[in-house]
Homo-oligomer: A and B are copies of this chain.
Amino acid sequence: MSTIPRLFVKADLTLGAPIALTSEQANYLFRVLRLSKNDAVRVFNGRDGEWRASVTEVMRSAGFLCLEELIVPQAVIGDLQLLFAPLKKTCTDFVVEKATELGVTMIQPVITKRTQTSTVRVSRLEKIVEEAAEQTERLDIPLVQEPIQLLEALGKWDKNRRLVFCDEAGDDPTENWGGDVGRARPMMEAISELKDGLAAILIGPEGGFSPEERKYLRQQDYVIPVTLGPRILRAETAAVSALTLWQAARGDWRAS
Contact = CB atoms under 8 A, between A and B. Distances in A.
Interface of A: 1, 98, 101-103, 135-138, 169, 173, 176-178, 185-189, 228-234, 237, 240-241, 244-245, 247-249, 252-256
A247 to B, nearest CB: 6
Oligomeric state, in number of copies?
2
A1 B173 contact: yes
A70 B241 CA distance: 32
Given A1-B232, A233-B101, A245-B245, A253 B188 contact: yes
Contacts of A229: 102-103, 247-248, 252-253
Nearest to A229: B253
A244 B254 contact: no
Contacts of A237: 98, 101-102, 240
Nearest to A256: B176
B241 A256 contact: no
Contacts of A137: 231-232
